[in-house]
Amino acid sequence: MRVKRGTSHIKHRKNLLSRAKGYRWKRKSSPKLAKVAVRKAGRYAYIHRRLKKRDARGLWQIKINAAARLNGMTYSTFMHALKVAKVELDRKILAAIAEHQPKIFTAIVQQVKK
């Protein structure tokens, strides 16, 4: 007895077209064009998830640098002083403290300057 794969074919096509919802022109309705569009969209999504992390780290560095300079230090000297003083705060937390609680950040700078 042969296997007819009509239902699985329809299911696959339906899933593909549902992922192409909102695309323009024939890319939303033609399985052939939607397949390419969805594959490219997935690739860009993968790449940009990593770029988002890179951009966030850059912003943290900018925020820490600005706060450190207000306290008379550069970013690199501040980060080195943190390592020497064995303060284990990551850049994400330091950036949040620098932005929202400048007094606490100043206290950290005074602590590592010693």
Whole-prediction pTM value?
0.71
- Domains of the chain, by residue range, sit at 26-113
- Is residue 104 exposed (0-12), middle (13-18) or buried (19+ Cβ within 10 Å)? exposed
- 30, 56, 75 from 41: Cα distances, Å: 16, 22, 37
pLDDT in tens, 62-102: 999 999 999 999 999 999 999 999 888 899 999 999 999 99
Q: Which residue has the higher pLDDT, 114 or 36?
A: 36
Percent of the residues in the chain that have a pLDDT greater than 90, as a whole number: 77
Q: Does domain 26-113 have CATH number 3.40.50.920?
A: no
Whether the CB-CB separation of 98 and 61 falls below 8 Å is answered with no
- The average confidence (pLDDT) of the chain is 92
Whether the CB-CB separation of 62 and 98 falls below 8 Å is answered with no
Rounded-to-integer distance, Cα 23 and Cα 41, Å: 10
